[in-house]
Amino acid sequence: MPDTPASLAEKLKSEGEKMAAFFAALTPGQWAQTVYSEEGEWTARSILAHFVSAEQGFLKIFPSIRAGGPGAADDFDINRFNASQQARMAQIPPAELLAHFQATRAEMVAFAASLTEDDLNKRGRHPALGITSLGEMLKMVHLHNTMHLRDLKKVIA
């Protein structure tokens, strides 16, 4: 069955609720555990900040594509963006980041639900995927978070 705006919105809503519950249950020690160290140290807190900043960015890019725009800039540097966003959010406590995640995800769910079937086929540049459809970009929001959560669960297990 092909994805519809309603099914994508529901998947994002459900996944967002599971993510929020997971992060809400972390202990102070788990928040501080290192998950990645390749591009600087990323902890559970860093990953949640990454979810927030990525979705905030997507909420600018996706409506632009819906309106016929190109999406992300040709010269967008994802590593530079991630590093700058980690620095920008470094002092935000986990509980506040979680509230930002929930608010941002609610906006993403509402955006997905507002789309038409034709909107899902509109194409533009995703920061990591390159040129692809808006429907694929919305699926990647879910897959991206699931991948990072899997890595985080391995570390805190």
How many angstroms separate the CA atoms of 91 and 82, rounded? Answer: 15
86 pLDDT tier (thresholds 50, 70, 90): confident
How many angstroms separate the CA atoms of 49 and 53, rounded? Answer: 6
- Please state the domain extents for the chain: 5-156
39 and 94 Cβ atoms separated by less than 8 Å: no
Mean pLDDT to the nearest integer, 51-77: 94
79 pLDDT tier (thresholds 50, 70, 90): confident
Amino acid symbol at 86: Q
- pLDDT of 1 reads 55
DSSP string, 94-136: HHHHHHHHHHHHHHHHHHHHH--HHHHH-EEEETTTEEEEHHH
CATH superfamily of this structure's domain 5-156 = dinb family like domain (1.20.120.450)
Cα separation values, 13 from 29, 47, 66, 81, 116, Å: 28, 19, 20, 25, 18
Residues 132-144: tens digit of each pLDDT: 999 999 999 989 9
